[in-house]
A and B are shown apart, each in its own frame.
Chain A
Amino acid sequence: MCSLALFPPPLSGGQITLYEANNELVAGSSPDCYEKQGAQTLSALNFPRETLKPHSRPESSSKAAFLDHKDTLWMRSAGAWRDAGLSGLLDEITNSAEEVPKWLAVSSGCVLALIRWMSSFHGSLFPHLTLSGEEMTAEFSQVSDSAIRSFAWHPHTDKFAVALLDDSIKIYNSRSATAPTLKHRLQRNVSAMQWKPLCASALAVACHTCLLVWHVDPSSLSTRPSSGCAQVLSHPGHSPVTSVAWSPSGSLLVSASPVDTAMMVWDVAAENCVPLQRVGGGGVTNVSWSPDGSRLLAATPSALFRVWETRMWTCERWPCLKGRCQSACWSPDGSRLLFSVQGEMVIYALTFSDMTGGPKSAAVVADLSETTFSGIDDITVGGEVQSLAWDPTGERLAVLLKGSSSHPAIIAVFKTRSSPVFELLPCGFVSGEIGAEPRLIQFHPHFQHGALLTVCWSNGRISHVPFYFVSVGRPHTGGSPPLPHITSKIEDYSTTHTLYTEQIS
């Protein structure tokens, strides 16, 4: 098992990690390094928060923004029904007791009390249901406080989409100068995006009320595609959507909402969906498809996650001991799942194989508890995992560690090896400018010379950190020799940190 103590000490004094070569992370000293280094790979982008205006209007209604105006009861009731549903209607009737018959006011008051009692009971079972839509998005998706809400690389070309704080999406293409901006009336609170595999143009966006699928013609020169290019997919009760995942074969799209206990499997072109309902857990927060398409992870807001097999769509339940599954990633061959649990500073691994009917327990593969490196000034790193990313060659694992008041968030990069035994080896820390914390990480899907990690920082900068190495799968033409590694046995810890599973259909 790997721990942070084995890592080379992080950079200090405002140094910036630029790239990895010959098994070492190379640092530079100024932010200009990004531009210099960007010349050879991809340009770095900067989105200062000040230039973007978030939506000032809260989600629920525009009522408060206008002067009080006396409508008829009928109009107000209709408005309340439209804005807040049944409870809003009842509330309106109860509040205007002098205009309605007494029995109506009393009975609606009773029903309202009953509904509130029921929902508070329901909420006590699943506390996340009491959150508002925006809070829920912030809680369960990777969306952060920075100017960049979400980031997505295209799986086949040098193209990526960036969702910004003002709910617009910009698409950058290495081969064209135009950067189309996508805006849509329903595109609020973007929480996740993903490009469709085996397609040049389709981008799925998880929004506050619905799911949008943009079709951005790559050869078009338009900088502002009309909202007619977007397909709106919505299902009653399925909002806010916090996660989307395309199947690697490009035929299906799965979306999840923490409020809805069903996750939706969409046939996007035909716009029909099949809900897959499992009540336990109270919702689905995060879905992620294994790269070979055979399995799908569905995390819930409770201490439980499911792994679906995608042939007959049955699932295994994996109850966690401590908290909900915070983040997870699949190995490139789809046989191994790494995940982290809220409240624990470790990374677990689950290994699947077709032969034995699945694993019985998860093993701890890395310990991320806080470690202090003593040098010129003591630097503390470690903490809970915010997100995990595994590069497509399966050789580098980037772990974004949550910061705390004493130390900032940081990215720890591991080298991974799957034979003879699966193990994580330390590689190094990726640090950015002073005051900038990493918020989102993603690997480039087909970088030729190793792996390319794209990091979105809290100051709105997007930078690319290349890792130059020769992959095991490729012919070996002389490269960096492997590091002498120090690892302890996995077996020592797997007995104490295990999770139990019950298999249900």
Chain B
Amino acid sequence: MLSFNQDCWFVRKVVRWRALASIAWSVLLLPATTTLFVFLVRFSLFHPVEWISECFGLLMAASTIFSLILLCGVVLVIGFFNLEGYTVVPSIPCSRVALLAKVLHPRQCVHSLVHCTVGMMVMWCASVMAGGRYQALGSPCTRGESADAPEVCLNEYHVFLLLAGAFIGYSHSFLGVVQNMNYVSFQIIQQYKYLRCKGSLPWVLKCSAVQSLYAVRNYVALYFFFGHIPRAWISNSLNLPIDSSLHSLDSLTGLLDFSLLYHLWISGAFLLLTWYITVLLFRIYVTEAHRFPVQSTFAEDAEQCLPKVLSEKRTPIMKFLALQDLALLSQHSPPRRQEVFSLSQPGGHPHNWNAISKECLALLSDLTQRLVAHHDAVASNGRARPPSATSDTRTTSNSSVSSAVVSGTEDLPQTPRPSVLLKTPGSVFLKSSGRGISSPLTAPFTPDLDSPFSTPSLRHLAAQQVPQQGQWLGSVQSPHIIRRGPKLWSTSTDSQANGSALASPVPTPSSPPPEQKSSFMAQWLQNRKEQVKGFMAKRVLVVYLFNKLPEASSQALFADSQAHIWALEGLSHLVAASFSEDKYGVVQTTLPSILGCMLSLQEAVDRHFKLPHASSKPVKTSCSMGDSTYKTLRFALRAALKTSIYRITSTFGEHLNAVCISAEHQKRLQQFMEYRE
């Protein structure tokens, strides 16, 4: 869920209009879906002529028109929620408790409540259009013998449908969280909106029918057990007695009514269809490619140009569309590529290319750093190290993002790592994580690290890093924190215990006496902590809630990888095109850093895929509106990365031997040039 910066021109000028257009189209499609619904819900096999004439009469009736107006309002509300809630970077909960927190988030509660209400409204319209026994809340009582019988009784069929609407509304909202329905993915190919919509309509129809079937199953089971509660409550509060001569619906005989189930299913499908169409149209409109000018002649349009837009961090949708535009222009339009390679008029600097390549490289090296940090965290098995390892690599990433070659932990000796080593206060963790420099075993014995203050300062550092980085990757950062959640329920003791707990088991002859006292305390605390941990670990529920979901952390790392894929495609196509189109040789100056960046990312990705669960494929979800593209983004990134490197090597061939990159990278590049990767 993102809150938009109102000042961003893109949201004001493009996204809002797109959302409005999509809502307008879904309103215009309402009469069609309503007609379909009326014909299906009033279907009678044995009186076809009556059926058709009745349906046409009903479509003209005032009640139907009123229902349509109400449905328009519903679509407006749904469309508003789509616009407010959509995201291009899904947030992936790494444990069940995180998922639970997402579901119980106040914002989500409001979402669910509104959807319940709106679902009831749609079901009210559906019951009015279905007519017959569903028509109204009150119905004349059938009980005739007693004189004091009231005239009007509660119509349970109507209540049944209304409650079904609320239930389906809630389950839609709930499944939306679980399946990340607010995630908007981009198609692998470009298509015109009309054709794309036409192509997805059958799928949406099938989807709503299937989902409605599941919802009906769940709802009927729920009503069978708990149906009497809301019924009694409504009957009491509205002072409508329950007709005792009829079967109540929370019994087997009441629920095994085929026509009731059929009507319920059709109405549920109608409800979901109108909502799904709104979602579908919104996705199609929002992900439509937008063409950003590469350079502009007017100074006031400068912020709308591709180089400026790419470096924008606050509006992810704009950044994504800009990267998509970059990938498209690098593949398909030579005149726009020329603009990228062009030099500025006074001065002759390749500002466009510099800005674009710098931004793409920053994206890629950021991913490299993230992968290295994650790998280190996993390799150290989550023992007190991850926060420091994370923060340290973040520091390097931030300090050297603009510098050209940023490499992984071990591969390059000439990275600025040694200097960082000296500056960072918590060098213990850094050393232990940087295995190339000193072995992890010896690290805790070095005298400069026994100070118990290292951890708080590190934590402070980490806390600084997270908001700084998380401005547009906000949801990506969360897994690190959530993942550590289960280990942190004893954090109150950590600041003391952590630093010395590592040191205490080791005999440290050089440590002064007061240290030993604190180490005794720490020992005691550590024991308590272990006891609590052991106690909690035995409780099945706790384990169930706090256990990490497999491959979730991997998915979370690559959640925004669509941006990286486009950056890779754009860069590699531009570099390949520069072989023949770049007159001034502007690309050649950045070629070493591009190759270095790609090769270190390649190494980091390769290492990541060696982790358990990283290369396991997710289960295919059959028919749901939730988009599961993000689950396979890491595979797509790996393939795109290899293809990009191959594209550059196959274009430049032997000339690449003249590019100066480190020996390590030269070796890797040679593998690619021989087609051995």
Contacts and interface: CB of A to CB of B under 8 A. Distances in A.
A binds B: yes
Interface of A: 154, 156-157, 198-201, 218-219, 249-252, 265, 267-272, 274-277, 310-314, 505
Contacts of B639: 199, 268-269
Contacts of A200: 646, 675-677
Interface residues of B, number: 29
Contact of A251 (B190, B192, B633, B643): B643
A199 B646 contact: yes
B632 A156 contact: no
Contacts of A154: 675
Contact of A269 (B190, B332, B636, B675): B636
Contact of B643 (A156, A249, A275): A249
A270 B633 contact: yes
Q: Which of B569, B617, B650 has the most CB of A within 10 A?
A: B650
Contacts of A251: 188, 569, 640, 643
Contact of B188 (A250, A272, A314): A272
Given A156-B650, A199-B642, A313-B190, A270 B635 contact: yes
Nearest to B569: A251
Q: Which of A154, A199, A267, A270 has the most CB of B within 10 A?
A: A270
18 contacts: A157-B675, A198-B650, A199-B642, A199-B643, A200-B676, A200-B677, A251-B640, A251-B643, A269-B636, A270-B188, A270-B629, A270-B632, A270-B636, A272-B632, A274-B189, A313-B190, A314-B192, A505-B195
A232 to B, nearest CB: 10
Contacts of B106: none
Contacts of B677: 200-201
A252 B646 contact: no
Q: Which of B190, B617, B642, B675 has the most CB of A within 10 A?
A: B675
A276 B199 contact: yes
B331 A505 contact: no
A505 B189 contact: no
A188 to B, nearest CB: 22
Interface SS, B side = helix
A219 B677 CA distance: 8
A199 B675 CA distance: 7
Interface in B646-667: 646-647, 650
Given A156-B675, A311-B332, A198 B646 contact: yes
A271 B617 contact: yes
Contacts of B573: 249
B676 A274 contact: no
Given A269-B638, A272-B632, A277 B188 contact: no
Contacts of B195: 313-314, 505
A267 B191 contact: no
A252 B675 contact: no
B187 interface: yes
B639 to A, nearest CB: 4
B190 A252 contact: no
A269 B639 CA distance: 6
Given A269-B636, A269-B639, 13 more contacts: A156-B675, A198-B646, A199-B646, A250-B643, A250-B647, A252-B189, A269-B638, A274-B187, A275-B199, A310-B189, A311-B332, A312-B191, A312-B192
A221 to B, nearest CB: 13
A154 B676 CA distance: 13
A313 B189 contact: yes
Given A198-B647, A269-B636, A313 B676 contact: no
Closest 7 CB pairs of A and B: A269-B639, A270-B632, A198-B646, A200-B675, A269-B635, A270-B636, A267-B188
A271 B188 CA distance: 11
Given A198-B643, A249-B331, A218 B676 contact: yes
A252 B632 CA distance: 15
A352 to B, nearest CB: 15
Contacts of A313: 189-191, 195
B188 A274 contact: yes
Contacts of B189: 252, 265, 274, 310, 313
A416 B113 CA distance: 71
Given A198-B646, A200-B677, A218-B676, A277 B199 contact: yes
Q: Which of B191, B629, B633 has the most CB of A within 10 A?
A: B191
A274 to B, nearest CB: 6
Contacts of A271: 617, 632, 635
B336 to A, nearest CB: 13
Contacts of A199: 639, 642-643, 646
Given A157-B675, A251-B640, A265 B188 contact: yes
Nearest to A312: B190
Contacts of A274: 187-189, 191, 199
Contacts of A219: 676
A251 B332 CA distance: 14
A310 B104 CA distance: 45
A505 B193 CA distance: 12
Contact of B632 (A157, A269, A311): A269
A377 B424 CA distance: 91
A353 to B, nearest CB: 15
Contacts of A198: 642-643, 646-647, 650
A413 to B, nearest CB: 28
Nearest to A198: B646
A265 B31 CA distance: 33
A274 B188 CA distance: 8
Contacts of A276: 199
A246 B195 CA distance: 23
A290 to B, nearest CB: 14
Nearest to A262: B199
Contacts of A272: 188, 629, 632
Contacts of A310: 189
Interface in B186-204: 187-192, 195, 199
Contacts of B650: 156, 198
A370 to B, nearest CB: 44
A347 to B, nearest CB: 30
Q: Which of A198, A199, A265, A268 has the most CB of B within 10 A?
A: A198
A252 B569 CA distance: 13
A156 B647 CA distance: 11
Contacts of B191: 274, 312-313
B654 to A, nearest CB: 14
A267 B569 CA distance: 14
B564 to A, nearest CB: 13
A295 to B, nearest CB: 13
Nearest to A275: B199
Interface in B163-219: 187-192, 195, 199
A277 B199 CA distance: 7
A277 B200 CA distance: 10
Contacts of A267: 188, 636
Contacts of A268: 639
A252 B638 CA distance: 14
Contacts of A265: 188-189
A273 B675 CA distance: 27
